[in-house]
Amino acid sequence: MSEVYTFGIKSGQPTALINITNEVQNVIKDSGIKAGICVIFAPHTSAGITLNENTDQDVIRDFVMETNKIVPISDGYHHIEGNSAAHIKSSIVGVSQTLIIDDGRLLLGTWQGIYFADFDGPRIRKVYVKIIEG
């Protein structure tokens, strides 16, 4: 019960949304827990966890394009590492999601997938998953 599950992912572009639904479903399946909630957490300040459409990749492409318009890569920022836009997107999208487990699986809508959003790739990143039974 008190375990924290971890898996790694690798992003290939400066902004990359990676579908991690299967990884999280497998964590839940392996835990044997049938009902409860799970917290999916990115221990990073220039990435996020979000849910969005799992079918047409143009939704993800549009998300990347539009968030780069909303939070431009360069915009007179002061942070010397040059990745302020990634930090800001991280706070807008959020670094965790809390989902429902039912019947041994994540309870998701038909079109929902879970994405790790790397806003400052390419990098190797980590995801933590914590399950609470109930």
How many residues of this chain bind its own copies (CB under 8 A)?
Answer: 65
Q: Applying CB under 8 A, does 4 fall inside the site for its own copies?
A: yes
Q: Applying CB under 8 A, does 29 fall inside the site for its own copies?
A: no
Q: Which stretch binds its own copies (CB under 8 A): 8-16, 19-27, 34-42?
A: 34-42
Q: Which stretch binds its own copies (CB under 8 A): 8-16, 23-31, 64-72?
A: 64-72
What SS3 string covers the chain? CCCEEEEEEECCCCCEEEECHHHHHHHHHHHCCCCEEEEEECCCCCEEEEEEECCCHHHHHHHHHHHHHHCCCCCCCCCCCCCHHHHHHHHHHCCEEEEEEECCEECCCCCEEEEEEECCCCCEEEEEEEEEEC
Residue numbers of the site for its own copies (CB under 8 A)? 1-2, 4, 34-37, 39, 41-45, 50-53, 56, 58-59, 61-63, 65-67, 69-71, 75-81, 84-85, 87-88, 90-100, 102, 107-112, 126, 128, 130-134
